[in-house]
Amino acid sequence: MSLLHRFRKDTTNGLVAGICAGIARGLNVERKWVRIAALVSLLLFSVPTLIIYVILAVTLPPKNRWLD
């Protein structure tokens, strides 16, 4: 399975769109570390981070509650 197929939006554990929670789940790390990395990235690279976040929010499929 490729790396991109592991990532899904986790809207049940997410704060905004579930992107950070989904990435944390796909990488098997704690959500807080991904959220901290996203905040640091947002502070340092605001526009690219927002563009990537919006693209992921639109394109990532949601987590399947029954299979995952």
Q: How many domains does the chain have?
A: 1
Residues in contact with 31: Cβ distance below 8 Å, sequence separation at least 6, in sequence order: 13, 20, 21, 24
Q: Is 7 inside a domain boundary?
A: yes
Q: Could you tell me the CA-to-CA distances from 9 to 26, 28, 34, 39 in Å, in that order? A: 10, 14, 13, 18
Q: Is 31 inside a domain boundary?
A: yes
Helix (H, G, I), strand (E, B) or coil at 9: strand
pLDDT digits (tens, 9 = 90+) for 7-18: 777 777 777 888
Single-letter residue type at 48: P
Q: Is 64 inside a domain boundary?
A: no
Q: How high is the pLDDT of residue 38?
A: 92
Beta bridge partners of 40: none
Beta bridge partners of 9: 62
- Full-model pTM: 0.73
Q: Is 67 inside a domain boundary?
A: no
What range defines the domain where residue 43 resides?
Answer: 3-59
